[in-house]
Structure formats: structure tokens, C-alpha cells
Amino acid sequence: MPDVTICSMQNTYSYALIKLLQEAGVTVLAACSERQTVTTVNAKQETVRQSVFSFVQFRSYGMENDGEKS
């Protein structure tokens, strides 16, 4: 079992997998990015949108005690 993993996928599946990994003592991270988008109109009058995603940081999921009372 890894000590740390990155998890990014469909929300419902992610939630269940993250909970299982955390219960096994694994730190689960999400990659955070910044999106820069440029929108132009080409010669055919079509809107063209280009996005660049730049990595910013890793963020830990804070679900360790989600829904549990101490």
C-alpha cells in the first residue's frame, strides 16, 4: 500500500476510494491547476477556445473525519 497517492476521477467513485485509502492510512492528494483561456473567432466565424492548465500545488483531501462525530 502506498503512503501517498493522487486521486482525480468521477466524483462518486473518488469519494468512496478516497475514504477507503484514508482508512488504510494513505494520504490522498489532488493536483490543483490554474486555467488560462484564450477565445478567438477564426475566418469561418467559429469560436475557438484554447486553455492551458498550469500546475499550482497539491492539496490534501480533508475527508478524514467527514460525517463522523468525535
Backbone CA torsion sign across 9, 29, 17, 2:
positive
**CA atoms of 56 and 61, how far apart (whole Å):** 16
Q: Report the chain's C-alpha Rg in angstroms.
A: 18
Q: Which of 19, 1, 10 is nearest to 66 (CA)?
A: 19
- One digit per residue, the tens of pLDDT, for the chain of length 70 reads 778 877 777 777 888 899 999 999 999 998 899 999 999 999 999 999 999 999 999 999 876 554 444 3
